Every structure is written in C-alpha cells, then in structure tokens.
C-alpha cells in the first residue's frame, strides 16, 4: 500500500506517531510537518519523523495525497480554513480529534460543504507525554480507531484511511458521529470531569495541605488524569458540551442518590450498588485487556 | 524491642503482613492467629505467618501481650465483645480499621469503658489482593500509619504501638479521631464512591456493552477501585456516613457547577477549574512520591 505524500498538521505525540508508523511501514514517500513552533518541527526533522516542514498550512497540504490533522479541537476551524484552495482534488483528509461533530462542523464551515475526501477519525490512544519526542511508531498498535464518515465521505477515501490505520497495526471501527460523541463523553470525558472535580473539591477544602498529605497510592492513580492539559480539556468540554452535559446529569443523579443512601446508612442498598458496579467493572473492563494487550498495573489501595 | 506474644484477629493481607514484619524483625515470640475460616488459618500456619491458631477470639487473646484486630469494620463490635474477660491486664490492643470513631464506639460498647491499652490505628497500606497468601513483610515499609489515641489510651500502650509500627518500617503519625475520619473520607472513601458511581452510571445506560467496549486504558486505571470488595465498602460507608456524607455534599456542589459550566460552554471558567485542579494535583500529589518511595506507573490516556 502506497499512500504517497503525507502532510501532518500538528507534529506532536499523535501526529508524530502516525508519521513514524507509516514510515516504518514504508507507506509514505514524503512527510511534510506543519505547526507553529519552529523548535518542535526542527526536532521532528532531526528525529527523522518528517522530511520537511512549513508553518503555512496551505503550503503543507499543497500536493499532499493524505492530510492528517492533529491540532487541538480549538484550532480545527482555522486549520480547515487555511487549507481551502490548496488541496489536491483527490486528497484524503483525516483527523485525530476526540470529538467528532464539532470537527465536522468546523470543516463544513470552512469549505462550505463537506469534502468527499474528508474522513473524520479518532484514535483511542495516547500517553501521558506530549510533543514529538514522545511519539513512537507503535503507539497505535492494537489500539482502536473510530472513523465517523459523513454523508459526503467517498468510499475510496474511507478505504484509504482504514488502510492507513491498518498499516499502523490499529483496529478500525466505524461509528455514527453523534454516537461516537456520546460514547466518548461517557467513557473518557466524564471520567476526566470526575478527576478534575475531585481534586478541585479537595483543593478548596480548609487544610487541604494535610488532606493531600494523607492521600496515598490509590488516590494518586485515581487522580492522574486531573494532571491532563487544561486547554485540551476545555476544548473537549466546549466541543462536546451537549453529550457530556447529558451524561453528567445521569452521573449527578446517581451520586446524589448514593450520597443520600450513605447519609441514611442504608447498608443493604449500598451493597447492591457496589456489587453491581464491581460486577460491571470486572465483566466489561477486564475484557478489554484482550484487545489492548496491556495488563493492568498493580496499584495500592487503602 | 520485644513485643511478646501477638494475637492477630483476622489473618489476611493486613494482619498477615503485620505478623510477617514483626517476625522478620524478631520482635514476637509467638503469633496466634484467629479467624473463622480453617483453610485460611492452615495456610497461614504452613506459610509460617502464625505459630498456632484458634477460631475462638477469647482463647486467642488469652495471654497475649499485643492484640491486632484486622477484621472488617462490621465485625469489630462482636470481636471486641468476644475479647471481654479474656485479656491480660496490661495487654495492648490496636486495630487496622479504616474508620476510627466507629471502631472506638464498638470498643466502648463492648467493654463499658475504653481500655487504657486500646490504641486505635489505621495503616494507610494495602494492595489489590487479599488473603494471607497476599501478605508480605514489607507491606508497611515507608507507609503512613495513623494512630488516633482516645482520652483513655495510656502513654505506655501508645508508645508500644508506635514501636510496633516502627519495626515494620512505617511512618507513624497521631491524629484526632474525628479529623482522621474526615481526612480519609476525602482522600479514600470519596474517590471510591466516585468510581463505584461512575461504573454504575455507565452500567445502567442503554447499550452499556458498547460503551464499556470503547473504554480504554485510562478508564481501566480510573475505575480499578470500583473492583474493591463491596462488603468492605458498605461497612466503611455506614461507619463513616457522617464525614463521607459531608464531603460528598461538597463534591456534588462542585460537579453540579461544573456540569452547568459545561452546558453553557463557558470555556474561560472551565480553564480556570481545570488549571486549579491540575495545579493542586501536580503540587500535592506528586510530592507524595517522596514519602511512599513508589513511582507512578505510566498509564495511557485518551
């Protein structure tokens, strides 16, 4: 499979790892990187992740057969707008944004109508680290990639993007746009809100120094995602506010009921809730290890 | 330091690890184990964790210089009651319960008044595993132990329990009873409620099979504590319902405000909340690594 010339807009962990994987597969003939920071692009060049770079999106996509957008959600609109008039007619465009409806809306707004070559996508992959120096060719190995084709997406473009992710060793599935945003709101965006909310609640308590001092191993693991990039999460929340707002409503109802059950000391009901949760967690979540190949690290609990 | 004859009531991870550590330190002359399950006690005997065992609490504590209660919170009351009339006059009693006011109340109820030899304690340590086969002598190494002496606790008993934990390589601190229960409600009990509540919310959604299928690495780490023992957590919630109910109220206010901020798409306010949480997490929680000596496992996030 030859994918031709690749333009990566945003050469960080996500964009850099795609470029590395496709180079390792021998599937691309030239990779042009695009971004605002010169130092990062120089690093990408020195690391052999890209062959050339530019700060100009229009220049980057000129002559590209495949364009990958790995910019923050808040930068999608201006990036699409900067592409307009510079794309090859048969260029295939895909992205790595973690909310799909908003990216599609940004694309439509920039182009007037959705290009047939645009295949919205979301690789369910990442690490705690960021920047091109954190990128590696195996990031997408055995990871799920969700593609959410639009009504305008051509079969040819869709197949090409599926093949691209296949070359990275990923497992590709298709999903309806709104459904993707709902599923991710529940499984990724909501947990991040919980962690941010928990840490912020404790930070706002009196004597929070002491409270954090007695927070031990389990707490550290549990709140790790509260160390995530605040700008990225602001963008995700704003972009997916409808689906996330809905699932947060469900969660708040659950937690209000749980708080009330605790206050009245209803042990029988608590046991029922905890047993159901444990059952679901053990049943579904441990099943995931079969797919990702990763085994859960041992963590201490109190 | 010689501690004499040790009785461990409840020979699992917590009780077994204490016995192993004190044996390794050469500080005990005989360890008697007590519990309901014969198979577990036989295993403890074969593993060399205990020297003898009995199913009778009164028999176990007869002649013991030091008694360690590592039974579930729900079994504390009956265990104290079974000790009555069998303790040596100068016996020192301590426990590993994760809520302190309720254990102290159970002790008072059993003995009529609090014994001067009773030193309530809480080792902030554990692993995901349970049972004596999971116990190891280093469990308490560099871990925090909180002691919450009562008004009746004698200095001699307190010093003896501090010495006992010191022999295990632990860091001992003293705390006021109610304050312990508030701090643990915030740093341990509340996070468990969040995890149980999150998993249960998702389990109750339509198409929850699919939702869990797309939950990836970060979710698995985040919800690991929802796999904890439901009976143990029911006991903790009931025992600490006042402090936990209060901190859950604070958390619910925070999350309601966050949900509202998301629904109205107020990016500026979101950035403020997320930045404050990230700041607190990075500042306080990473500082903990200095104490525990454990480094955080790398985990994938989406």
Dihedral over Cα of A30, A31, A36, A41: its sign: negative
- Could you tell me if residue B302 is inside a domain? no
- Could you tell me if residue A95 is inside a domain? yes
Tens digit of each residue's pLDDT (9 = 90 or more) over A87-115: 999 999 999 999 999 999 999 999 999 99
Q: Does A136 touch chain B (CB under 8 A)?
A: no
- Could you tell me if residue A262 is inside a domain? yes
- Could you tell me if residue A296 is inside a domain? no
Residue B280: CB atoms within 10 A of its CB come to 21
Q: Does A246 touch chain B (CB under 8 A)?
A: no
SS3 string, A128-185, reads CCCCHHHCCCCCCCCCEEEECCCCCCCHHHHHHHHHHHHHCCCEEEECCHHHHHHHHH
Residue of B nearest to A200 (CA): B277
Number of separate domains in chain B: 2
- Residue pointed to by tokens 């005997």: B45
B225 in the same domain as B165: no
B223 in the same domain as B84: no
- Could you tell me if residue B216 is inside a domain? yes
Q: What is the pLDDT of residue B299?
A: 37
How far is residue A114's CA from residue B35's CA, in Å, rounded to a whole number?
A: 69
A207 in the same domain as A150: no
B136 in the same domain as B167: yes
Report the DSSP beta bridge partners of residue B185. none
Q: Does A44 touch chain B (CB under 8 A)?
A: no
Residue of A nearest to B239 (CA): A265
A125 in the same domain as A20: yes
Instruction: List, in sequence order, the alpha helices (H) in chain B.
Output: 13-24, 38-46, 57-61, 76-83, 101-111, 155-167, 177-184, 190-203, 208-213, 217-222, 230-239, 241-263, 267-280, 289-292
SS3 string, A209-277, reads HHHHHCCCHHHHHHCHHHHCCHHHHHHHHHHCHHHHHHHHHHHHHHHHHHHHHHHCCCHHHHHHHHHHH
Give, for A191, the enclosing helix (H) or strand (E): helix A190-203
Residue range of the domain that includes B249: 179-291
Last residue of a domain, one of B175, B201, B223: B175
A281 in the same domain as A201: yes
B83 in the same domain as B118: yes
- Could you tell me if residue B299 is inside a domain? no
B169 in the same domain as B79: yes
Distance of CA B172 to the CA centre of its chain: 14
Number of residues that make up chain B: 302
Name the residue among B127, B205, B218 with its Cβ closest to that of A298: B127
A251 in the same domain as A155: no
* Domain at A185, CATH number: 1.10.3660.10
Portion of chain A with pLDDT greater than 90, in percent: 81
Phi, then psi, of A40 in degrees rounded to 5: -65, -40
Last residue of a domain, one of A154, A175, A196: A175
User: In a 10 Å sphere around its CB, with 0-12 CB exposed, 13-18 middle and 19+ buried, how is residue A36 labelled?
Assistant: exposed
* Domain at B28, CATH number: 3.40.50.720
Q: What is the pLDDT of residue B295?
A: 37
Q: Which of residues 75-104 of B touch A (CB under 8 A)?
A: 98
ipTM here: 0.88
A186 in the same domain as A171: no
Last residue of a domain, one of A149, A175, A201: A175
Name the residue among A186, A191, A214 with its Cβ closest to that of B144: A214
B198 in the same domain as B224: yes
B30 in the same domain as B169: yes
Sheet holding A28-34, edge to edge: A52-54, A28-34, A4-9, A66-69, A92-95, A118-119
User: Number of residue pairs across A and B with CB atoms under 8 Å?
Assistant: 352
B115: DSSP letter? -
Residue of A nearest to B280 (CA): A203
Name the residue among B228, B281, B287 with its Cβ closest to that of A223: B281
> Which residues of chain A fall short of a pLDDT of 50?
290-302
How far is residue B248's CA from residue B236's CA, in Å, rounded to a whole number?
A: 14
Q: What is the pLDDT of residue B302?
A: 41
> CA–CA distance from B16 to each of A66, B20, B61, B97, B136 (Å)?
60, 6, 16, 15, 7
Average pLDDT by stretches of 10, chain B with 302 residues: 94 98 97 96 98 98 98 97 97 98 98 98 88 96 96 98 98 96 94 94 83 76 86 96 96 97 97 94 69 38 40
């Amino acid at each position: 499979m030859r994918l031709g010339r690749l333009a990566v807009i945003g050469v960080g962990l996500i964009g850099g790892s795609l470029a590395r994987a496709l180079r390792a597969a021998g599937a691309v003939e030239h990779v042009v990187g695009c971004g605002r920071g010169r130092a990062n692009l120089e690093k990408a060049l020195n690391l052999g992740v890209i062959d050339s770079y530019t700060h100009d999106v229009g220049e980057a996509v000129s002559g590209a057969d495949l364009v990958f957008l790995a910019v923050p959600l808040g930068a999608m609109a201006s990036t699409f707008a900067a592409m307009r008039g510079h794309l090859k007619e048969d260029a295939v465009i895909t992205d790595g944004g973690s909310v799909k409806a908003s990216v599609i809306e940004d694309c439509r707004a920039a182009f007037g109508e959705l290009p047939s070559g645009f295949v919205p996508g979301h690789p369910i992959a990442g690490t705690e680290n960021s920047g091109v120096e954190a990128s590696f060719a195996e990031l997408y190995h055995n990871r799920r990639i969700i593609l959410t084709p639009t009504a305008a997406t051509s079969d040819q473009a869709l197949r090409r993007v599926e093949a691209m992710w296949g070359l990275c060793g990923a497992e590709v599935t298709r999903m309806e746009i709104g459904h993707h945003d709902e599923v991710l709101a529940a499984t990724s965006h909501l947990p991040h809100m919980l962690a941010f909310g928990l840490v912020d609640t404790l930070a706002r308590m009196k004597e929070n120094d002491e409270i954090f001092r007695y927070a031990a191993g389990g707490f550290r693991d549990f709140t790790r995602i509260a160390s995530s990039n605040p700008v990225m999460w602001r963008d995700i929340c704003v972009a997916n506010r409808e689906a996330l707002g809905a699932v947060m409503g469900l969660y708040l109802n659950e937690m209000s009921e749980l708080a009330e059950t605790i206050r009245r000391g209803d042990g029988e009901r608590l046991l029922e809730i905890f047993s159901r949760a444990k059952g679901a967690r053990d049943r579904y979540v441990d099943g995931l290890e079969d797919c990702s190949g990763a085994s859960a690290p041992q963590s201490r609990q109190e």
